[in-house]
Amino acid sequence: MRNSVLTFAGRVGIIETRDYIILKINLNLDLKLERFGELEQKIRGIVEEYSTLKDRNRELEKLLEGKSAELEDTNNRIRAFNNEKDVLRTRVDSLLDMLRDVEVS
């Protein structure tokens, strides 16, 4: 096997080419594993945030359903009041017509 002279961390030494390649591969793997760890942490953060947002969305949907039901109930009450107002107006108009027909003597 052929030996090579390498400079590593400020030292000069003779390392077998195979050992140098293994060392280089290990350093590359360490860097890649470190980057993989960073990616893993980012993904965990995104998943946690997604879960939080999903829960909040569910809460807001329930709140919206409740508000929609309240709005529908209020609209129904307004319609009922308007109908009552129309009935009263008709009755008052009828009474006023009756009074107009009476001659004051």
pLDDT at 12 over 60: no
The answer to whether 45 and 31 have CB atoms below 8 angstroms apart is: no
The answer to whether 13 and 1 have CB atoms below 8 angstroms apart is: no
The 10s digit of each residue's pLDDT in 39-83 is 889 999 999 999 999 999 999 999 999 999 999 999 999 999 999
pLDDT at 102 over 50: yes
Q: Average pLDDT over the chain, rounded to whole?
A: 81
pLDDT score recorded for residue 13: 46
pLDDT at 10 over 70: no
